[in-house]
Amino acid sequence: MENKKYQDEAFEIIEYAANEIGSRLPGSDNERKFAKHMGEKLKSIGINPVKEEFAVFPRSSIGGIPYAGWAGVILCIASYFARAIPYLWFAMAGFGIVVICWLILSVFLYKPWFDMFFKQQISQNVYGELKPEDGEYDYTIILSGHTDTSWCWKHSEHAYKYKDKPILGILATYGKVGFGAICFFVMAFYSIFQAVYYSALMVFQSEWALIAQYGAQYGYTSTFADVYNVLDKIFLFLPVICCIGCFFVIMWADPHPENASRGAMDNASGIALSYEVIKYFKENPEKMPPRCRIVDLNCGSEEAGLRGSMAFTAEHKNDDFCKNAWNINIDSVADEDYFEVVIKDDWQFCRFDKDLEQMFKDTFNELGIESKTGGCIHNPVGGCDSTPMTRAGIKSVTFAAQNPILTYYYHTWRDTPDRFSPETVGKGFDVILGVIDKIAAFQSENAPAEVQEAAAEAPAEVEAETAETEE
């Protein structure tokens, strides 16, 4: 195999990250250690690494999901006190609304608006540039991956015992989390309902509320009063059940760093492949696309809500990193039966570049890669680093080889190198090279005439210089 050297070196990086460094939570010492390691590797091949630090609030996004569980427990307990002190419903409703807003905006949509309320840490992006020998380039290809790993998702890890029965594993995982989420929202919306009811009763003296509260004493009734009385009886015992469900949410993300994901697939594989591709072109300059700059970008804190790629695009929004730029975001290349291009983050409402999508599909076909996903998926939950890139005007998609169904090794400490093979990583390396060739062809076909002429002259100049050296 022509590129076996790069395949094996990529797998060595994966093994070092997972086995020697281990978990690399956003903003942690281990995340910094891995970023420094990749910077040193860039320096070893003659590429100057650049480090850009940024503030991150790890628990403000998916890392803070257990807080929603604790919020549900508080509402469950407080509901019994509110029976004697109705004014408590107003505080409970406000609390529930704030938590729901935080879940929607920060956990689901990755907005940074609640970051200030969480503990701050420092993360970093580390990147290196490979330019043509004359320093002149017309476009940029950014190869990106993320250095950090996720908190261990306990319910996914517990599904390991069903690894040979994936349907049971999915039910065990989604069943517990889904039940817990329903329990939280039941208590939050019930608190809001009670706050509205007591507002109508105490402040506005609304007839329907008065009848529900006092009608039975005077022989009055209504449909609303009947429904309210039934709800009141149900919620004598339902908070106990909801409290149990909320503990499933609390258990979702293990708070202990030593139990966090080791991140072999997600995403030491992406980091390793990005580096090996830029090293390939550094060692084989004749294969470098004409008038192209290639960047190896090691993003920090992706698992904390895409904060690294957000920080990178914010830092470079006014320079040529975001002008005529392509981003191949590599995230989790390990499952040989699931090679795919991710074309959309559904929760982020972001559709990625269609030209890159087609380039990946064509490359899969050329390499004879067959995938159980048909080579193309949407990211149904969360988000990936292609979203900030796309929003910054960079043509981007995410390349993965990962079973899209929630599995026992996704975001758990079981994400280790022994689960997959160097050959799968090597196949990913070949895919990326194939897509880069197609980007170069696209640029050549669509570039202005003077740029095409300069690109055509470049190989001739190289041949002339080589001939002179030989003489």
The residue ranking higher by pLDDT, 2 or 287, is 287
* Same-domain status, 261 and 328: yes
* Same-domain status, 294 and 243: no
User: Hey, is 85 helix, strand or coil?
Assistant: coil
Residue 451 lies in a domain: yes
Q: State the CB neighbour count (10 A cutoff) for residue 138.
A: 21
Residue 462 pLDDT: 43
Phi, psi of 270 (to 5 degrees): -65, -40
User: What are the tokens at 98?
Assistant: 């704030």
Residue 375 has pLDDT above 50, yes or no: yes
Mean pLDDT of the chain: 91
Residue 173 pLDDT: 81
Contacts of 23 (CB under 8 A, 6+ apart): 30, 149, 257, 258, 259, 260, 261, 262, 263, 413
Residue 466 pLDDT: 42
Give the C-alpha separation, 264 to 23, whole Å. Answer: 9
Residue 380 pLDDT: 78
Residue type, 325: A
Q: Look-up: residue for tokens 């880069």?
A: 436
What's the mean pLDDT in 374-387? 91
Residue 334 lies in a domain: yes
- The DSSP element (H or E) to which 339 belongs, if any, is strand 339-345
Residues 105-115: tens digit of each pLDDT: 999 999 999 99
List the domain range (segments joined by +) for residue 35.
4-58+121-152+257-462
Q: What confidence tier does 468 reach under pLDDT thresholds 50, 70, 90?
A: very low
* Same-domain status, 143 and 212: no
Residue 200 pLDDT: 76
**CATH number, position 428:** 3.40.630.10
* Same-domain status, 174 and 147: no
Write out the E strands in 365-441: 376-379, 395-401
Contacts of 268 (CB under 8 A, 6+ apart): 13, 14, 17, 18, 34
Residues 276-331: tens digit of each pLDDT: 999 999 999 999 999 999 999 999 999 999 999 999 999 999 998 989 999 999 99
Give the C-alpha separation, 213 to 198, whole Å. Answer: 10
Residue 469 lies in a domain: no
| Helical spans, DSSP H, in 199-222 | 207-218
Orientation angle between helical segments 29-44 and 269-283, nearest 10 degrees:
10
Task: Look at the chain and count its residues.
Answer: 471
* Same-domain status, 24 and 130: yes
The answer to whether 187 touches 72, Cβ cutoff 8 Å, is yes
Least confident window among 118-132, 144-158, 454-468: 454-468
Residue 337 lies in a domain: yes
Residue among 344, 347, 351, 406 nearest 376 (CA): 344
Residue among 348, 471, 375 nearest 431 (CA): 375
* Same-domain status, 203 and 233: yes
Write out the E strands in 23-84: 50-56
Residue 352 lies in a domain: yes
Residue 36 lies in a domain: yes
What's the mean pLDDT in 325-343? 97
Tally of structural domains, the chain: 2
User: Hey, is 54 helix, strand or coil?
Assistant: strand
Give the C-alpha separation, 28 to 31, whole Å. Answer: 5
Residue 469 pLDDT: 41
Structural domain ending residue among the three candidates 250, 265, 291: 250
Residue 167 pLDDT: 81
Residue 221 pLDDT: 65
124 CB burial (10 A radius; 0-12, 13-18, 19+): buried
Tell me 309's DSSP state: H
Residue 176 has pLDDT above 80, yes or no: yes
Residue 225 pLDDT: 73
What's the mean pLDDT in 432-453? 83
* Same-domain status, 11 and 45: yes
* Same-domain status, 54 and 67: no
Structural domain ending residue among the three candidates 250, 283, 317: 250
Residues 21-30: tens digit of each pLDDT: 999 999 999 9
* Same-domain status, 132 and 190: no
Q: What confidence tier does 54 reach under pLDDT thresholds 50, 70, 90?
A: very high
* Same-domain status, 428 and 344: yes
The answer to whether 136 touches 335, Cβ cutoff 8 Å, is no
Residue 470 lies in a domain: no
Give the C-alpha separation, 94 to 98, whole Å. Answer: 6
Residue 211 pLDDT: 64
Residues 178-216: tens digit of each pLDDT: 999 999 999 999 999 999 988 877 766 776 666 666 665
Contacts of 69 (CB under 8 A, 6+ apart): 180, 184, 246, 247, 248, 249, 250, 251, 252
Residue 9 lies in a domain: yes
* Same-domain status, 343 and 413: yes
Say what the pTM is: 0.90
* Same-domain status, 350 and 426: yes
Residues 424-439: tens digit of each pLDDT: 999 999 999 999 999 9
Percent of the chain exceeding pLDDT 90 equals 79
Structural domain ending residue among the three candidates 188, 217, 250: 250
Residue 451 has pLDDT above 60, yes or no: no
The answer to whether 150 touches 306, Cβ cutoff 8 Å, is no
Q: Look-up: residue for tokens 């790890």?
A: 58
